[in-house]
Copies of this chain bind each other. A is one copy, B any other.
Amino acid sequence: MPILPALGDSVRKREAMKKITSFVGGTSGAWRILSMETVAGEPLSLATHLDILDSNLSENFSGNWQLRGSRSYERYTNHEEHEQLIQKSPPLGRPEANSAALIPIQKTDLWWQLSQDERRKIFEEESHHIEIGMAYLPAIARRLYHSKDLGEPFDFLTWFEFDSKDKLAFDKLLKELRQSKEWTYVQREIDIRLVRS
Binding site for B on A (CB under 8 A): 2-6, 8-9, 12-13, 16-20, 26-27, 42-47, 56, 64-65, 70, 72-79, 81-82, 112-113, 115-118, 120, 146, 148-153
Contact = CB atoms under 8 A, between A and B. Distances in A.
A150 B70 contact: yes
Given A2-B27, A116-B120, A75 B72 contact: no
Contact of A79 (B44, B117, B149): B117
A31 B142 CA distance: 45
A151 B70 CA distance: 8
Nearest to A80: B115
A137 B105 CA distance: 36
Contacts of A5: 44-45, 64-65
Main SS class of interface, A = loop
Nearest to A43: B6
A152 to B, nearest CB: 7
- Counting every copy of the chain, the complex holds 2
A18 B120 CA distance: 28
A9 B65 contact: yes
A137 to B, nearest CB: 17
Given A20-B151, A146-B149, A8 B42 contact: yes
Contacts of A3: 45-47, 64
Contacts of A81: 115
A150 B149 contact: yes
A117 B12 CA distance: 29
A6 B73 contact: no
A76 B20 contact: no
B42 A151 contact: no
Contact of A115 (B27, B42, B47, B79): B79
